[in-house]
A = this chain, B = another copy of it.
Amino acid sequence: MGSDRADRAATQESTTRARTRRAIIDAAVATLSADHTASLADVAEAAGVGRTTVHRYFPERSDLLAAIGTDVRERIEAATARARLGEGPAPAALDRLCLEFFELGDRLMLLDDVPQFWAWSGLEEDEAQAPSDRELLALVRRGQREGTLDPEVDDTWLHTVLWAMLYAAWEQTREYDTPKHTALSLCLRTLRKATAA
């Protein structure tokens, strides 16, 4: 009896549960990126579900935050993969990465702002060298070898600057109502100039 249910339990949830889980996570991202101190009631309302339901899926607040963390990290990994950092000239690869990351929107801010998202699968914050991070650092070193990236720009510094510029681009849309595509092109242009050899 219920062999399919057992299967689902082992592999994944029912489609309905998967949908509401997504709705909650998405709403949480939107709500928390606007206000990091938003309550679970706010998240529930934004998701269009009852507060009870939120607790059903994420017993504690930290569970929800952790879920957001993994969600965002997965998106980052996927975006990095799509950017194919190994192909073509380093500056062009950096452009592609920046573009892919930009598409992730507000999500990116959360990782910086809410340290709890790194309370992850037993990893020690800084120690958590995500694969995508390593890919980026490798790209920088490659570009420097090829002479297409500024050798003075430390690889960790470029990493920091990339994220800072993405942050800046989104801030620009929020603060000055700059259209998204304008903010993106400013961001790309600035990043290119800053990293050029």
Contact = CB atoms under 8 A, between A and B. Distances in A.
Interface of A: 36-37, 113, 126, 150, 152-154, 156-157, 160-161, 163-165, 167-168, 171-172, 175-176, 178, 186, 189-190, 193-194, 196
B194 A152 contact: no
Interface of chain A, main secondary structure:
helix
How many protomers of this protein does the assembly include? 2
B154 A186 contact: yes
B168 A164 contact: yes
Given A36-B36, A193-B196, A176 B156 contact: yes
Given A150-B193, A156-B176, 14 more contacts: A36-B36, A113-B113, A152-B189, A153-B186, A157-B178, A157-B190, A160-B176, A161-B168, A161-B190, A163-B168, A164-B164, A164-B165, A164-B171, A194-B194
